[in-house]
């Protein structure tokens, strides 16, 4: 029977994404969703908030817990929204409103100054073990307008680096398989894999 890890989120999109990423590299592990209380994320960095969530989920379930805190960091905005990406347009966590506000703030900025990166920080907390934090970054730039209906959050406005000129797509236009192989979360999880041996 697979060893279970609880993912400290109530976001079903993140659970699905992590299940696919983990299954590709560690099929002996099963990622399960979290149904416990949501802690107050009062950290000001991705790492602080990831640890807050992982500690709460591990304490509540008794299982090793993973928590991802992620967002988009825009160079022209000094790295903002950063750890405040989910709340950029207010506490409602409205992805469409967050995206619209970000694009409005960059409305006078043109390439090559629309550079940005997705950042994922993953914390691993075991009930009786050490705590680990790893990070993955995905470089790209912001599109002028959303494109694509797949993904979630800022995916429809993020254009990853490394695509063929003239055939570039936002992550909102990528398949789930493409995203799960290249994303900031996939990169962070690859950094975490050696640490999972401690469980």
| Paired tokens of 189 | 């999880």
CA–CA dist 146, 116 (Å, integer): 15
CA–CA dist 179, 21 (Å, integer): 10
Q: Which pLDDT belongs to residue 152? A: 87
CA–CA dist 124, 30 (Å, integer): 14
| Helical axes 184-196 vs 12-25, angle rounded to 10° | 50
pTM for the whole thing? 0.89
Is position 150 annotated as part of the catalytic site?
Answer: no
| Annotated binding-site residue numbers | 9-14, 69-70, 152-155, 179, 184-185
| Annotated binding-site residue numbers for substrate | 9-14, 70, 152-155, 179, 184-185
Q: Which pLDDT belongs to residue 1? A: 60
Query: What count of Cα atoms within 13 Å lies in the side-chain half-sphere of residue 27?
Result: 1
Burial 10-40 (b: 16+ CB within 10 A, else e): ebeebbebbbbbbeeebeebebebbeeeebe
Q: Which pLDDT belongs to residue 197? A: 76
Q: Which pLDDT belongs to residue 25? A: 82
Counting Cβ atoms within 10 Å, is residue 74 exposed (0-12), middle (13-18) or buried (19+)?
Answer: buried
Q: Which pLDDT belongs to residue 78? A: 97
Cα angle at 79 between 13 and 91, to 5 degrees? 50
Q: From first to last of its 199 residues, what are the pLDDT tens digits of the chain?
A: 668 999 999 988 889 988 988 888 888 999 999 999 999 999 999 999 999 999 999 999 999 999 999 999 999 999 999 999 999 999 888 999 999 999 999 999 999 999 999 999 999 999 987 899 999 999 999 999 999 988 889 999 999 999 998 899 999 999 999 998 999 999 998 999 888 877 6
Domains and CATH numbers, the chain: 3-196 (3.90.950.10)
Catalytic residue, chosen from 69, 108, 128, 161, is 69
| Annotated binding-site residue numbers for Mg(2+) | 69
Would you say 44 and 18 are in contact if contact means Cβ atoms under 8 Å apart? no
CA–CA dist 35, 11 (Å, integer): 11
């Amino acid at each position: 029977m697979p060893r279970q890890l609880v993912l400290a989120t109530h976001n079903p999109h993140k659970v699905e994404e992590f299940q696919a990423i983990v299954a590709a590299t560690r099929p002996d592990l099963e990622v399960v969703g979290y149904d416990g209380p949501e802690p107050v994320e009062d950290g000001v960095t991705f790492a602080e908030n990831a640890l807050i969530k992982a500690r709460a989920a591990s304490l509540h379930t008794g299982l090793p817990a993973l928590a991802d805190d992620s967002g988009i960091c825009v160079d022209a905005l000094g790295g903002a929204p950063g750890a405040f990406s989910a709340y950029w347009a207010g506490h409602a966590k409205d992805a469409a409103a967050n995206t619209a506000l970000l694009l409005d703030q960059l409305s006078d900025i043109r390439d090559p100054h629309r550079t940005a990166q997705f950042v994922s920080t993953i914390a691993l907390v075991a009930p009786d073990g050490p705590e680990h934090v790893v990070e993955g970054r995905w470089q790209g730039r912001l599109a002028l307008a959303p494109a694509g209906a797949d993904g979630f959050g800022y995916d429809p406005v993020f254009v990853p680096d490394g695509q063929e000129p003239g055939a570039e797509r936002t992550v909102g236009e990528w398949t789930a398989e493409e995203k799960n192989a290249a994303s900031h979360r996939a990169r962070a999880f690859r950094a975490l894999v050696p640490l999972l041996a401690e469980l």
